[in-house]
Amino acid sequence: MEETLVQVKDLRTYYPIKGGLLNRRVADLKAVNGVSLDIPTGQTFGLVGESGCGKSTFGRSLLRLQKVTSGEVIIDGENILSLDRAGLMKARKDMQIIFQDPYGSLNPRMTVREIVREPLDTHKIGAKADRNGEVMRLLEVCGLRQTVADRYPHEFSGGQRQRVGIARALALKPKFIVADEPVSALDVSVQSQILNLIGDLQEEFGISFLFISHDLAVVQHISHEVGVMYFGKLVERAPAEELYSSPKHPYTKTLLEAIPQPDPTRNRTEVLVGGDIPSHLDPPKGCPFQPRCPVAMPECAEREPELKPVDSDDCSSRHQVSCWLY
Amino acid sequence: METLQYAIRKLIYAIPLLFGVTFLSFILMVHFGPDLTYSILPKSATQEQIEEIRAELGYDLPFLQRYGKFMKEVVTLDFGSSTSSGEKVSSILKKAVPVSFLVALPAFILANLLGILLALYAANHRGRFPDKAVMVLAAIGMSISYLMVVIAFQLIFCTSYGLNWFPVQGWVEPPPDYPDATAGEIFYYYWYYYWSYVAVPTLASIFVALGYNTRFFRAVIVEELNRDYVRTARAYGVRNRKIMMKHVLKNAMIPISTRIIITLPFVVIAGNLVVEKFFGIPGVGLVTYDAITNGDLPIVKAVVTCTAVLYVLALILTDIVYKIIDPRISYSK
C-alpha cells in the first residue's frame, strides 16, 4: 500500500453564531462536522459537494487558514494544528493552496515576477540572484512564456492567471496542494488545459492534491479517490472509478444524475433532489439528508448513520458510505 | 511622458467643469449676492443717489455683462479691492493663505497619519476588543461638536481653570528688533511662538478629524484584508506585518489617497472658519468670516472661486495619482 502523506482525523470547524442582547455565542455553525480522510503521496483526493456544504472551509482548515475547533491534521508526520509559529512556518513550505478566483488571488499591484517570487523571498530559498531564474523556470513549467514576467495580472486571461497562481503554489516545491475550485471560474476549454497541467505536475513532482469542486465531472478525470460531502460531513467515499460506476448514497446518485450526458437515449430515472441544504441553525434530526432523500425510511429521521464500509465483510474496502440502506 | 499626456488630457477635460463651477459661484454670490446699496447710503437717500451707487457697484448691468465681468476677474485672478478696508484682495489673501496653511498643515498631516495607524491597528484586530475600542472612540470623536471641542480645549489648555500653557488667541508677531540677534535666535523665536499659537488649534482639529479618518481608513483596509491574495500570502507564510504593509496598505492607498487629496484645498485656502475665528488667527478662514459678516463681496468671491478651482484641480491630481499607483488604469481611456 502507498505511503499516506495527509491524514485528517475527525476535523471539526465551527463558526460561532452570535446573538442575544450581549452578543454572546449562542450556537455553533458546524461548517465541518467531523471529517476524516487520508491522501497517499502523489495522489489526488477529490472532494465534491454543493455550495455551503463546508468543503472550502475544510480545505482552509487543513492549512490552518481557518481556526479549527477540534481534530487532527497530520501532514508528512507532523500535526499541523499543534505547531507553533516557527514550526508552522516550516510546514507552510510543504503545503500550498490554489484559489478559485484567479482574479482575486493575485495582488493587482504586483507583476507576475514579483508574485511568483514572493514565496521564495519569504522563505529565503536559494541565493537572491538565483531566484529570478527559478521564477522563469516555474513560469515555463506552468506553460507561460517568460516574456510575461513583467506584466500585471489584469493583462491576463482567467486561464493564464490560474497558471500564475499554480506557478506561485509550486515555488516552494510543496508536497501537498489544496486546490479550492481551481477551474470553476474558467471556460470549459480552459478548464481542461488547467486540469491537464495539474495532472502533469502531479506526475512530474509527485504532489498530493486535495481537489475541491462542486462539479463531479471535473473531479472524475483527475482524482484517484473521491469523497462526497454534505452538511459538513463525508457521506460517501470511494476510489474514483467505483464511485462513478456504482454510487451508493442517494445523494451521490443525485449528483451523478445531474451531470449532463451527451446521450439523448439515456434512461434518466428522475430522482432529482429538490429543496436546499437544511438550515445550520436548526439541523434536522437523524440523517441530515433525510428531508430531501427520495428513499428515506422512518429510521433515517431518528438516528444519524455513520460512515462505514459498504461491504461489511471486506474491512479493507475503501468504499464507505453513511446511509441506513447499507 | 505618458503620465504627462494623461495629466494634460485630464486638465483639458476639466475645462467644462471649471466653467460650471465658476458659473454656479457667480449665480450664488453675485447674482443673488449681497446688495450693499443701502448700507453705503445714508437713511434718506434720493433716487439719483441710489442709482449712482448701483451703477458704481455694477448692480445695474444686465446678467450676461455681470457674468462677463466676473469671469474676467476669475481669469485674471484680480478681484479688485475689499469694500470694507479698501485693500487689494490679492494682497489680503497673500498674507492670509500662508497663515492658514501653517495652521492647518500639522493637523492635516497628523490626523491622516494617526488615522492610518489607528485604522491598521483596528483592522489587524478586527472584531476583537482593540478594534471595538478604537471604533467606539472614533464614534465619540465624531459625535462631539467642533465648537464644543474648541471651547473645551481652550478651557483646558489656555485658561487658568486648566493648564494655562498657551495663549488663547492671536498669532505670531514679528520679533522685537534687537540689533545683535543671531539667525538662530530669530528662528527659535518664530518656532516657539508658532507652536504656542498652533498647538491647541492643531489638537482640536485632530480630535475632530481623527474619528472620520479612522473609520474610513479602517473600512478600506478591512475590505483589502478579505481579498484572496491576502489569504494566499498567509498560506505561503508571509509574516503578518509584511502582509499589512505590502499587500493590504499598498492597495488600500488608492481610496485613502483620494480622500487625503480631496481635503487638500481646505488646507491650502478654504482654511478653517471655526478654528481661525475662535483662536483669532488671521488666516483665510477669519478673513472669509469677516468678509461674510460685512458683506465684503470681492473677498468672498475670491475665496469661493479659488476653493472651487482648487477642488477641481485636486480631483485631477487624484486621477494622476491613481495612474501612478495603480497599474490597472491605462493611459488611453
> Residue A116: its pLDDT value, please?
92
Chain B residue numbers with beta carbons less than 8 Å from the beta carbon of A154 are 327-328
Taking one residue from A and the other from B, the number of pairs with CB-CB distance under 8 angstroms is 64
Grid coordinates representing B39?
A: 448700507
Note whether A216 and A279 are same-domain residues.
yes
The three cell numbers of residue B43 are 437713511
Give the position of cell 462505514: A308
Q: Roughly what angle, to the nearest 10 degrees, separates helices B183-225 and B89-124?
A: 50
Rounded Cα distance, B2 and A323, in Å? 66
Say if strands A44-48 and A208-213 run parallel, antiparallel, or are unpaired. Answer: parallel
| Subunit contact A105:B228, Cβ cutoff 8 A | yes
Evaluate if residue A20 carries a pLDDT over 80. no
Nearest CA in chain A to B326: A109
Phi first, then psi, for residue A16 (nearest 5°) are: -70, 140
* Res A163 pLDDT > 80: yes
Quick check: is A99 in a domain? no
**Chain B residues in contact with A109 (beta carbon < 8 A):** 250-251, 325-327
Residues of A within 8 A of B229 (CB-CB) are 104-107
Helix (H) or strand (E) holding B10: helix B2-26
Can you give the pLDDT at residue B113?
94
Instruction: Give the number of domains in chain A.
Output: 2
**How many CA atoms does the CB half-sphere of A311 hold within 13 Å?**
10
- The per-residue pLDDT for B134 is 94
- The pTM for the full model equals 0.75
Residues of chain A positioned with their CB less than 8 A from the CB of B247: 107
Same domain, A286 and A189: yes
Cα–Cα distance, A88 to A122 (Å, whole number)? 13
Residue A224 domain-assigned (yes or no): yes
Whether A63 and A196 share a structural domain: yes
- pLDDT: is A154 or A271 the higher one? A154
Q: What is the mean pLDDT of residues B225-234?
A: 86
The reply to whether A51 and A192 lie within a common domain is: yes
3-state secondary structure of B241: helix
Mean pLDDT score across all residues of chain A:
86
- Angstrom CA distances, A310 to A237, A307, A313, A318, A322, stand at 10, 9, 9, 9, 9
Provide the residue range defining the domain that includes A307. 4-94+174-321
Instruction: Check whether residue A149 and residue A276 sit in a common domain.
Output: no
Mapping DSSP onto H, E and C, the string for chain A reads CCCEEEEEEEEEEEEEEEECCCCEEEEEEEEEEEEEEEEECCCEEEEECCCCCCHHHHHHHHCCCCCCCEEEEEECCEEHHHCCHHHHHHHHCCEEEECCCCCCCCCCCCCHHHHHHHHHHHCCCCCHHHHHHHHHHHHHHCCCCHHHHHCCHHHCCHHHHHHHHHHHHHCCCCCEEEEECCCCCCCHHHHHHHHHHHHHHHHHHCCEEEEEECCHHHHHHHCCEEEEEECCEEEEEEEHHHHHHCCCCHHHHHHHHCCCCCCCCCCCCCCCCCCCCCCCCCCCCCCCCHHHCCCCCHHHHCCCCCCEECCCCCCCCCCEECCCCC
User: Is B229 in Cβ contact with A107 (below 8 Å)?
Assistant: yes
Any idea where the domains of chain B sit in the sequence?
11-33+77-307
Assess if residue A286 is contained within a domain: yes
Q: Look at residue B333 and tell me whether its pLDDT is greater than 50.
A: no
d(CA B230, CA B221): 11
What does the alpha-carbon distance between residue A172 and residue B191 come to, in Å, rounded to a whole number? 55
User: Given its phi and psi angles, is residue A207 left (phi above 0), alpha (psi -120 to 50 degrees) or beta?
Assistant: beta
| Least confident range of A42-51, A131-140, B258-267 | B258-267
The CA distance from A104 to B143, in Å, is 37
Provide the CATH number for the domain formed by B11-33+77-307 in this structure. Answer: 1.10.3720.10
- A97 touching chain B per CB within 8 A: yes
Assess contact for A51 and A214: CB atoms under 8 A. yes
Interface test with B, best of A105, A121, A155, A168 (most B CBs within 10 A): A105
Describe the strand order of the beta sheet including A4-19 as a list of residue ranges.
A24-40, A4-19, A70-75, A78-79
Does the pLDDT value for residue B300 go beyond 60?
Answer: yes
Say whether both A31 and A161 belong to one domain: no
User: For chain B, what is the mean pLDDT?
Assistant: 85
In angstroms, what separates the C-alpha of A272 from chain B's closest C-alpha? 34
Residues linked to residue A25 through DSSP beta bridges, in sequence order: A18
Q: Report residue B284: phi and psi, to 5°.
A: -60, -35
A298 & A204 share domain: yes
Tell me whether residues B232 and A88 touch, CB distance under 8 A: no
b/e string for A89-103 if b means 16 or more Cβ within 10 A?
bebbbbbbbbbbbbb
pLDDT attached to residue A2: 66
CB contact under 8 Å between B236 and A168, yes or no, is yes
End residue of a domain, out of A115, A140, A170? A170
Same domain flag for A43 and A120: no
Q: Report if residue A326 sits inside a domain.
A: no
Angle, alpha carbons A18-A23-A29 (nearest 5°): 10
Same domain, A128 and A82: no
Q: Are residues A71 and A139 in the same domain?
A: no
Burial class (CB in 10 A: 0-12, 13-18, 19+), B56: exposed
Question: pLDDT of B27-48, one tens digit each?
Answer: 887 778 777 777 777 778 788 8
Q: Verify that A162 and A187 share a domain, yes or no.
A: no
* Mean pLDDT, range A280-289, rounded to an integer: 81
* Residues in chain B, total: 333
CATH classification of the domain holding A74: 3.40.50.300
Q: Do A165 and B232 touch (CB under 8 A)?
A: yes
With contacts defined as CB-CB under 8 Å, which chain B residues touch A108? 251, 326-328
The ipTM value here is 0.72
Q: Looking up cell 468670516, which residue turns up?
A: B289
Mutate to test the interface with B, among A57, A62, A107 (most CBs of B within 10 A): A107
Q: How many CA atoms lie within 13 A of A127 on its CB side?
A: 2
B268 or A121, which is more confident? A121
pLDDT digits (tens, 9 = 90+) for A61-109: 998 888 899 999 999 888 988 888 888 888 888 898 898 887 788 888 8
pLDDT of residue B173: 82
C-beta atoms of B251 and A109 within 8 A: yes
B328–A65 C-beta distance less than 8 A: no
Distances (CA, A) of A98 to A117, B39, B276: 16, 76, 56
